[in-house]
């Protein structure tokens, strides 16, 4: 997620969930964390704070802590390969689920880093690319239906890699143009033989201009003052089948496999304001976390940061802490919702509600385990 603010630095801080609303927070702008500062050296107006968090469905509590994880994606392959180096660079950004202890740095400890490396982002992946005065972000969800044939994470990682590469080469291109070129490059990429994925991307400009592209059921939301200003709508063919970009081997081209194109993506231009929060997400979040819970979670975090115990934080530090913590809170809360059985009192997951309406014979209850 991204927070637009009126300061002149962009920091990538470690991510963690506050263990108590009574705890104070230390700034995490340490030299050990990757940073991009300043993002806009000639602008006196805007900059962005970033928070990153992710979790594979093949990680505790959804698998046993001692269960061996089958290697997947490009991360553990030949590091002389360009895409392998890039994937590892993305994985080096702090994005853990560590505990935050009063008065101590939290989140990106060696043990958390080891766990994040062990479990990774599953079939989802992301890209972060600074190009001149623009910041390009992409997020992709590999289609799990390819699991019997190929590793779905190869497609999502490669799509984000090509998206970031094209963004760096064609600075003036719009996100949908970048997606089109990236997809064409992926189709020619022999390292990916088959697969499919959704993608949401955004270009953030120094004057608060934001250009979005979204194909499938990943998406984005914009919030301000703990309220939702805008949230994208998912693109689907039918229930639980999103629009998706695919690479189909010749022997499967007559099998009726979904095959969509970048020109089918939704595009949107938005002028951002100081204090806007931009959230990019895959359906692991939107299938499990009710939209109405976003303001509640945001306001709880705002109260924490506004506590007198955190008065030592500057506004720049407060913005950076909000970005990193809110990203991690959303992942943690989403995973909690995945574990719901449907027997609990109160709210239902969006996936259960939609399944009950559209495929009642399936009798789906509770959350949907996903990245």
Residue-level pLDDT at 206:
85
Residue-level pLDDT at 27:
38
pLDDT tens for the 371 residues of the chain, in order: 776 655 332 222 222 222 223 334 433 433 333 333 334 444 556 788 899 999 999 999 999 988 988 889 998 777 778 999 999 999 988 775 544 444 445 556 677 777 778 889 999 999 999 998 899 999 999 999 999 999 999 999 999 999 999 999 998 899 999 999 999 999 999 999 999 999 999 999 988 999 999 999 999 999 999 999 999 999 999 999 999 999 999 888 876 778 899 999 999 999 999 999 999 999 999 999 999 999 999 999 999 999 999 999 888 888 988 998 999 899 999 999 999 999 999 999 999 999 999 999 999 999 999 99
Residue-level pLDDT at 5:
59
Taking each helix axis from N to C end, the angle separating 152-169 and 82-91, rounded to the nearest 10 degrees, works out to 90
Residue carrying the six token digits 């910041």: 135
Distance in angstroms (rounded) separating the CA atoms of residues 233 and 336: 23
Residue 312, judged by CB atoms within 10 A of its CB (0-12, 13-18, 19+), counts as: exposed
Evaluate whether 166 touches 184 at the Cβ level (below 8 Å): no
Classified by CATH at the fold level, domain 46-282 comes out as Phosphatase 2c; domain 1 (3.60.40)
Distance in angstroms (rounded) separating the CA atoms of residues 35 and 164: 18
Q: Of 130, 131, 112, 135, which Cα lies nearest the Cα of 54?
A: 112
């Amino acid at each position: 997620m991204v927070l637009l603010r009126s300061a002149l630095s962009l920091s990538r801080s470690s991510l963690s969930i506050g263990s108590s609303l009574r705890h104070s927070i230390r700034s995490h702008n340490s030299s050990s964390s990757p940073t991009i500062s300043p993002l806009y050296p000639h602008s006196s107006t805007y900059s962005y704070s970033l928070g990153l968090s992710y979790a594979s469905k093949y990680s505790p509590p959804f698998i046993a802590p001692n269960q061996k994880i089958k290697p997947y994606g490009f991360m553990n392959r030949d590091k002389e390969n360009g895409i392998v180096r890039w994937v590892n660079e993305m994985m080096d950004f702090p994005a853990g689920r560590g505990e935050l202890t009063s008065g101590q740095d939290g989140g990106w400890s060696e043990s958390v880093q080891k766990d994040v490396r062990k479990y990774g982002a599953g079939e989802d992946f992301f890209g972060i690319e600074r190009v001149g005065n623009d910041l390009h972000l992409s997020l992709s969800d590999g289609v799990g239906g390819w699991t019997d044939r190929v590793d779905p994470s190869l497609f999502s990682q490669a799509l984000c890699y090509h998206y970031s590469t094209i963004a760096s080469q064609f600075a003036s291109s719009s996100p949908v143009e970048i997606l089109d070129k990236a997809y064409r490059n992926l189709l020619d990429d022999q390292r990916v033989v088959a697969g499919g994925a959704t993608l949401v991307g955004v270009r953030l400009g120094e004057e608060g201009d934001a250009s979005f592209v979204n194909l499938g059921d990943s998406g984005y939301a914009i919030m301000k003052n703990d309220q939702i200003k805008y949230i994208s709508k998912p693109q689907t063919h039918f229930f639980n089948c999103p629009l998706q970009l695919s690479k189909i081997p010749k022997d499967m081209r007559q099998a009726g496999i979904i095959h969509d194109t970048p020109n089918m993506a939704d595009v949107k231009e938005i002028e951002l304001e100081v204090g806007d929060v931009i959230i990019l997400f895959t359906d692991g979040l939107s299938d499990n976390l009710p939209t109405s819970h976003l303001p509640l979670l945001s306001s709880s975090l705002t109260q924490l940061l506004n506590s007198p115990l955190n008065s030592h934080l500057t506004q720049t530090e407060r913005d950076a802490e909000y970005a990193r913590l809110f990203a991690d809170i959303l992942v943690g809360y989403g995973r909690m919702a995945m574990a719901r059985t449907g027997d609990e009192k109160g709210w239902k997951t969006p996936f259960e509600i939609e399944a009950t309406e559209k495929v009642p014979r399936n009798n789906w209850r509770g959350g949907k385990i996903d990245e």
